[in-house]
Chain A
Amino acid sequence: GEDVEQSLFLSVREGDSSVINCTYTDSSSTYLYWYKQEPGAGLQLLTYIFSNMDMKQDQRLTVLLNKKDKHLSLRIADTQTGDSAIYFCAETAGAGSYQLTFGKGTKLSVIP
């Protein structure tokens, strides 16, 4: 079955880089996503990557995808206190699906 795993907590100092890791099981996923959720708020799409890509960079965000190991990571450069939030990894539930399977979320705490 589909399963997305990610560590629950990450703590970094302001200005350092954050790396949030995720593993998934569905090799037929077409797209993989990173969402951000701030306390009391909804989901904010940060970035996504097509399953045939290895890397995608968008300003301070870098997504790395290792399809062989089914490993996805999100690197946030120059982490700021405003980056403190829960980050969800998600995969499409199979090729051509609009349904997403989410990880449990990684709570990122940024220490000033």
Chain B
Amino acid sequence: DSGVTQTPKHLITATGQRVTLRCSPRSGDLSVYWYQQSLDQGLQFLIQYYNGEERAKGNILERFSAQQFPDLHSELNLSSLELGDSALYFCASSVARGGGVSGGYTFGSGTRLTVV
């Protein structure tokens, strides 16, 4: 157990639907990162939050949004789902002050999303 908790582990939904993925960071970590892993795109950075504020944005679609709550857990919302959104979505957290990553990330075990 890495200390980063992601729920649900698996999610199957239909095209056009909306889903919410949840992440609880490791205790004491202020930064949360979301990544998408697919066979064709590899690991793609989506977005980072640090202590409740958006810190960096990557290749995140407009149909996707995220937020970090006061208790530091984060949610990734995916809407108007398409077949191509099927992927493994990882959350990671880090302890570094200022949102940096010098200590490396701790990854959760991911949510496997299948859009049918």
A and B physically associate: no
Residues of chain B touching chain A, judged by Cβ–Cβ distance below 8 Å, are: none
